[in-house]
Amino acid sequence: MFRRDADGWFYFEGRSDDMLKVGGQWVSPAEIEAHLSAHPAVLEAGVIGRPDPRGLTEPCAYVVLKAGRTASPALAAELRELVRARAAGFKTPAAVEFVADLPRTATGKLQRFRLRDGGAARP
């Protein structure tokens, strides 16, 4: 999927099968992952959509920390605030889960379907 800005430039937003409809807006998981990966404690991140109690989709992040970093509720809150400061509020992950690694294909592509099915290794 692409978007076009006011100057006529096109931006690749991600694959249509990976896009999330959050609060009536299309959200690219790759955008949220890029914001999370900008944090000095984060090695890599994967984002999927999960239904909230009302049945609406909300972004949820799986984060692999760099060696020597420790998962904590405070770090999860810090990561959520980082995304909130850099992107629209509806793009902020509702939850941040710390995992040992992310499921990938042999060529290194993130397998979001496995994240949705609980396929990330817990630390």
**Would residue 86 count as lying in a domain?**
yes
Q: For the beta carbon of residue 121, count every other beta carbon within 10 angstroms.
A: 11
25-27 and 20-22 beta bridge pairing = antiparallel
Residue (of 78, 42, 84) closest to 63 by Cα position? 42
Can you give the residue range of the structural domain that contains 68?
A: 20-116
pTM attached to this predicted model: 0.81
**Would residue 6 count as lying in a domain?**
no
**The domain spanning residue 37 has which CATH number?**
3.30.300.30
Overall number of domains in the chain: 1
Distance of CA 110 to CAs 22, 47, 67, 78, Å?
21, 10, 20, 24
Reading the chain (123 residues) residue by residue, the pLDDT tens digits are: 677 889 999 886 655 567 888 888 888 899 999 999 999 999 999 999 988 888 888 999 999 999 999 999 999 999 999 999 999 999 999 999 999 999 999 999 898 888 888 766 666
**Would residue 10 count as lying in a domain?**
no
